[in-house]
Structure 1
Amino acid sequence: MTSVITFDRFLMGYTLGAHILIVTLSIALAVFVSTFEFLSLRKKDRDYDILARKLARALVIFFAVGTASGTVLAVELFTLWPPFMVLIGKVDILPFYYEIFAFFLETISLVLYVYYWDAFTNRYKHWALSLFVAIGTVMSAVFITMVNAFMNTPAGFNISEYLATGKITGVNPLAAVANPSSFIEVSHVTTATFASGAFVLLGYFAYRYMKNNDGLGREVYRKGMVVTAIGALIGVVLAGIAGDSSARMLISLQPLKYAAIELNLHPMVNAPERIGGIMINGVPEFYINIPRLQSILAFLSFNSHQAVPGLSQFPKSEWPPLFVHLTFDVMVGGGTLIGLFGLYLLYRIVRKRPITSRVLLYGMIASAVLIEIVNDAGWVTDEVGRQPWIIYNVMTVSSAANTSPSVIPLGIGIILFYLIVVPFTFYFANRVWVRREEKATKQVAGEAKWS
């Protein structure tokens, strides 16, 4: 039974990790397609139109694969966690319904936007469709995140009655949706996901710029990098602000998770910020202390007399795996480095200095890799930091899991599915882009459309 539960956990984490790679690109592509077409209309600039058309084709690919991946996740939820879905179905099902409407909005708008591009005499009406694509894409992520927020801070039903008798009473679906962490978590996840996709796109533009020897083609990528860098920086700054609020919120709503990610053994006043460190024989080792910084960040005060939570306040059986302290450090440290790099790019853009030196281009590519590590580290911190609960203080992962060995063949098939589909998606999107680029270079420079 324990081995099957472990497999359930691994499979869900593996699937979510793969799905996130697709989602980050989908959200960023939807936003930047709309942005580039708007710039092409306002500035009457062919280069922005080229970018909008090419990114729209990539968006179709990622949308198609993301839809298939989302279906797999839905099957997993019902197959791997049936008791969990019973509770969700009775208490917090509204986000799933709303997500379906967001999906329909995205699907219909994307079909009209891509296949009727040149049918609109008024191009602003065509551009308006891209707004609906972006809204549908982002709102799908918003509604799914609301369910995760419910898992962190459940509300909308009589929890004490459920724990005592197992009966679900006093259901208020709107209260479940508007649970205490919903707004902050949605803000953090959407901005972080957009920032992740934006930096990946920025890294791809930098890569294509270095591979392209055509002057006109390089100018397209240069403009793409400028706009994408600005969008990526806005995303990562907003994600940092929301993430800071989210971490501070844990003190009152999920104190055990807070103690784990900060590796606090005991409650402390004027607590230092601990960077790095692992537990050896119950004692933190190999870390760097920054005096008082944790309390300053936690309470936004230099003279707070409040204590931050400690692990010793909770039964050891309820402690999450303490490696979440390291994943938290990766998320914060990596996000900070990426933000500083983005600020430097913005400085050069504002001062009208070139951003196409080899060092900066390689920096963009490195940021694209690092941002995905940061994003996944953030999700690991959130989900593993809640262990052993699937719904915090309400339902454990073990009690929600399907313990039948019959889930293992299904899981192996899903693992193989993602091992093939995710690399193929990125490869195929790149090949479509490259073929169009090669076609364009063979045309007369003034007539090249890259479409």
Structure 2
Amino acid sequence: MPDPSLELDLARLVSAVGVLAHLSMASAFLGTIALAVIGEYIWLRRKDQQWLDLAKKFNIAATIFFGVGAAFGTLVEFGLVTIWSNFIAIIGTAIALPFFLELFAFLFEVIFLPLYTFTWNRFSNQWVHWVIGLIAAFGGYYSAYNILAVMSALSIAPPGLQLVNLAAQGKNVAGAITWLAAFQNPTDAWNIFWWGANVFILHGILAAVILSWSGVAGVVLYLYLKEKKDWQYKVLRLVVPAIAVLTAVEGLVVGHLQGELVLEHDPLKLAALEGMFWSGLRPDPLTSFVAYGDFNHQFWGYYSWPADIRPPAFVSVFYLGFMVGAGILLGILTAGIGLYLLFGWFKRIVPPLLKPSVYLIPILAALASIGGAVSAESGRYPFILVQSVPSADGPPQITGVPVYQGGLFNPTLQLTPWLAALILIVEVAMPALAGYMVYLALARPPKLLKRLVEY
């Protein structure tokens, strides 16, 4: 019989790797379908054949990432429901609306993406095909919008959403569930898309595009340094400056707004993220300046709350070291290379950096994305739907559903180390398989894909 604490750790590891693997493929789809639509738009405006060829290739890549990602996403969803079955019972009513809307978004993808892929040069009005691609891209981004709305609600409770302690009322669900998340009124379900959720959603979508475009930039830069082809230069002039701009918006605007939400709604998570490892009230000059414009504001330290509700201390490493640190370096590096590509600036500084940037750009983007994902997910441990209640004589009370109460983990599941290892292998192999399929399709295309690109 597996150790219950080991089972719980394995369940978290398997779930985390599965979600991150699926997010990598979802990000790749969002990035490549956007580049396909942008490339076709540039071709329609300029009649540059190279952009038409690029649009078709990005379309092929997007189709592969969507196909593998959709199948793998179903597997991940099944795993999450199986491992955390009681969690779904607790939260299911609260998140039903965005998942219902996500089905329509998915229909946009499965209908219009194949239509976009196999109708190149089949319309007398070439803008019709571009509109089809735009609708396919909309389906992908609207799907991400709804999924990220759910993830946002798990971190900060939207207005009107209550956590009901059924045990305190002498009630339960199916003899096991003692907590229930429900909106006060049926119409409050739309509050899951409140202003704070939209900040979280925009942050996640920008991160996905930055990650995928950084991968494209690394591959194309590698090819450009070897071959010096014109199309490679055109892609770099588009993608690299865009990464720099999006990274600046992500960190300086959207990230700041999200930080304000954490400051207001979850002071314990703020303390963990910022590394405020003390007890009681103390000033934190940097956080105080960013949040309040002065250096003297006091914050409750990480150790002001009981140990059983504190997030893991490593969250600050992922937040400050990975997300913030790698994000800043990525922004500086891509801004320098982008200005060099667009205007010829920094001619003495940038050229020596191009070769290492083949690896640095995607690695920095990956580190920043992983850091952000781990910070968001681990930061709400050990509660779901975190709410902060002010206290007159101590730190704010953090309320929610404790992990070890309410039976979030499936009590009938036996997750052994060998089973967990097998699941992890599959989770890592699926994104690798999708990437290899894209390589085969673009570097060694079969006849069908050759004919598609030649349309």
TM-score tier after normalising by the smaller chain length: 0.7 to 0.9
1:397 maps to which of 396, 403, 409 = 403
Q: What residue number does 1:147 align with?
A: 150
Alpha-carbon displacement from aligned partner over 1:193-228 (angstroms, at most 9, x marks no partner)? 11111111111111222343xx6xx11111111111
Which stretch shows the higher mean deviation, 262-271 or 325-334?
262-271
Q: Are 1:159 and 2:163 an aligned pair?
A: yes
Residues 302-313 of structure 1 correspond to what in structure 2 (within 5 A)?
302=294, 305-313=296-304
- The CA distance in 2 between the partners of 1:208 and 1:229, in whole Å, is 15
1:294 to 257, 273, 287: 287
Listed as ranges, the gaps of 5+ residues in structure 1 are 272-291, 444-448
More deviation, 374-383/429-438: 429-438
1:223 is aligned to: 234
Please report how far the alpha carbon of residue 361 of structure 1 lies from its aligned counterpart in structure 2 after TM superposition.
4.4
Q: Label 1:294 to 1:157 Cα distance change in 2 as closer, same or farther (>3 A).
A: closer
- Letter in structure 2 aligned against 1:332: V
Could you tell me how far 1:111 is from its partner in structure 2?
A: 0.8
RMSD: 2.7
Deviation at 1:129, TM superposition (A): 1.1
The counterpart of 1:98, out of the listed 101, 108, 131, is 101
Q: Deviations over 1:252-291 (max 9, x none)?
A: 21111110111211455641xxxxxxxxxxxxxxxxxxxx
Question: Is the contact between residue 4 and residue 403 of structure 1 (CA under 8 Å) also seen in structure 2?
Answer: no
CA distance in 1, matches of 2:236, 2:162: 51
Q: Percent identity?
A: 23
Task: Please point out which of 428, 435, 453 is paired with 1:419.
Answer: 428
Describe the SS at the equivalent of 2:157: coil
Task: Show the counterpart of 2:444.
Answer: 435
CA 220–350 in structure 1, closer or farther in 2 if over 3 Å, else same: closer
For 1:28-177, list aligned pairs within 5 A. Answer: 28-155=31-158, 156-159=160-163, 162=166, 164-165=168-169, 166=178, 168=180, 170-172=184-186, 173-177=188-192
Three-state SS of the structure 2 residue aligned to 1:158 is: strand
Structure-2 separation of matches of 1:83 and 1:128: 43
Q: For residue 338 of structure 2, what is the aligned residue in structure 1? A: 346
Distance 1:102 1:438, change over 3 A: closer
CA distance in 2, matches of 1:106, 1:354: 42
The offset of 1:124, in angstroms, is 0.8
Deviation at 1:133, TM superposition (A): 1.5
Q: 1:347-384 deviations in whole A, cap 9, x for unaligned?
A: 22442569994632431431112211210111111111
Partner Cα separation in structure 2 for residue 33 and residue 354 of structure 1: 30
CA distance in 2, matches of 1:354, 1:376: 31
Cα distance in 1 for partners of 2:283, 2:47 equals: 57
Q: Give distance in 2, aligned partners of 1:312 and 1:53.
A: 55
Match of 2:208 in 1: 193
Aligned equivalents of 1:268 and 1:296: distance in 2? 16
Alignment TM-score, normalising by the size of structure 1? 0.85
Deviations 1:133-173 (A, max 9, x none): 21111111111111111111124443355574346463545
**3-state SS, counterpart of residue 397 of structure 1:** coil
Conserved in 2, the CA contact under 8 Å of 1:109 and 1:130? yes
Deviation readout 1:77-96 (Å, 9 max, x if unpaired): 21111122112221221111
Change in 2 beyond 3 A, CA 1:344/1:394: same
Residue 322 of structure 1: CA displacement? Answer: 0.3
| Whole-angstrom CA distance in 2 between matches of 1:244 and 1:49 | 38
Correspondence 1:367 to 2:361: yes
**Aligned residue number for residue 284 of structure 1:** none
Q: Which amino acid aligns with 2:230?
A: E
Structure 2 vs 1, CA of residues 349 and 438 (structure 1 numbering), >3 Å: closer, same or farther?
farther
In 2 relative to 1, CA 36–162 (structure 1 residues): closer, same or farther, beyond 3 Å? farther
Structure 2: segments with no counterpart, 5+ residues: 170-177, 387-398
Per-residue deviation at 1:131? 0.9
Which amino acid is the alignment partner of residue 375 of structure 1?
Answer: S
Displacement of 1:312 in angstroms is: 3.2
Normalising by structure 2, we get a TM-score of 0.85
The Cα shift of 1:317 comes to 1.6
Q: 1:358 to 1:101 in 2, by over 3 A?
A: farther
Q: 1:410, CA displacement in angstroms? A: 6.5
Q: Which residue of 2 aligns with 1:324?
A: 315
Distance in 1, Cα, partners of 2:128 & 2:359: 35
Task: Give the superposition deviation at 1:180.
Answer: 6.5
Aligned-residue offset at 1:192: 1.1
